[in-house]
Amino acid sequence: MYVPLGAGVPPGPGILFFHGGGFVLGDLESHDMICRRMAEGSRCRVLAIDYRLAPETCFPCAHDDALAAWHWISAHGEDVGIDPRRVAVAGDSAGGNLAAFVCQQMNRIKGPRPAFQLLLYPLLQFADIRSKKMSPQESGFFISVGLFEFFRGHYLPDPGTYMDPRISPLFAPAEELKGLPPAHIIVCGWDPLHDEGLAYAAKLRAMGIAVSEKEYPSMVHGFLNLTHISATARLAAREAGKITGEALGAI
């Protein structure tokens, strides 16, 4: 739990954060600085979730954990200073997949809906990466074809699950997109996931959902983990937090 100085008197707005890593890598420590900067920028409490990883646990275990975390904060948020009515879900890469999944799943079961979704260069489909026509700049920085298949092989051993909308929210039917929370989506120029982030933004917008997007043309996938060496990453993390804080009424 990250509580910035500007968080104010509890209960206040909060962010439920899921780290990236292809459902195989990553943990609370690897994404500590992202959460700190996001908390500072948003003036919100940030609750980071350490969900189960593959290959020890496969699909849908991480998604089940994300859903359990959402149900917990919806029921018990005030116990940790968070107003359950003003909670955003957020995540980078695979964590963005989990954030998008939680929003869609609440539509499917008519459960408590997040107030906002912050998707940072999200992984929105696990069907294929090879068929995409990628330029040299998209094909090997932090996430490559080989790494994508490594992640998919560990978390999704059954090829029959590749198009499941829980793991590939980009392909969810239109009726499951209606009424989703407002979203802010970040994409990177040097990233094979660039196009699916923009495609998801377009699908949400077509359903009447308020969506903003920010492209960092010179940045690579995972650049928000580089705040120790990149001024752009530091500013981007703070700005993403600020946009989320404004959406939740914290700023």
194 belongs to the catalytic site: no
Q: pLDDT per residue over 112-152, tens digit each?
A: 999 999 999 999 999 876 444 455 554 545 677 788 889 99
Q: What is the CATH number of the domain that holds 158?
A: 3.40.50.1820
Q: What is the DSSP string of 114-163?
A: PSEEEEES-----S-STTS---GGGSSSSS-HHHHHHHHHHH--SGGGTT
Residue 20 has pLDDT above 90, yes or no: yes
**Is 151 exposed, middle or buried (CB count within 10 Å of its CB: 0-12, 13-18, 19+)?**
buried
**CA dist., res. 217 & res. 109, Å (int):** 37
Find residue 120's DSSP bridge partners.
Answer: 92, 186
Instruction: Work out whether the CA dihedral 176, 178, 184, 189 comes out positive or negative.
Output: positive
Of the candidates 65, 92, 191, 194, the residue annotated as catalytic is: 191
Domains held by the chain: number: 1
- 93 given a catalytic annotation: yes
Average pLDDT, rounded, for the chain: 93
Read off the pTM: 0.95
Beta bridge partners of 185: 119, 213
Each residue's pLDDT tens digit, 41-98: 999 999 999 999 999 999 999 999 999 999 999 999 999 999 999 999 999 999 999 9
The question of whether 76 is a catalytic residue gets the answer no
Q: Which structural domain range is residue 198 located in?
A: 5-248
Tell which wins on pLDDT, 128 or 103.
103
What 3-state class would DSSP assign to 90? strand
Q: Which of 31, 93, 154, 168 is catalytic?
A: 93
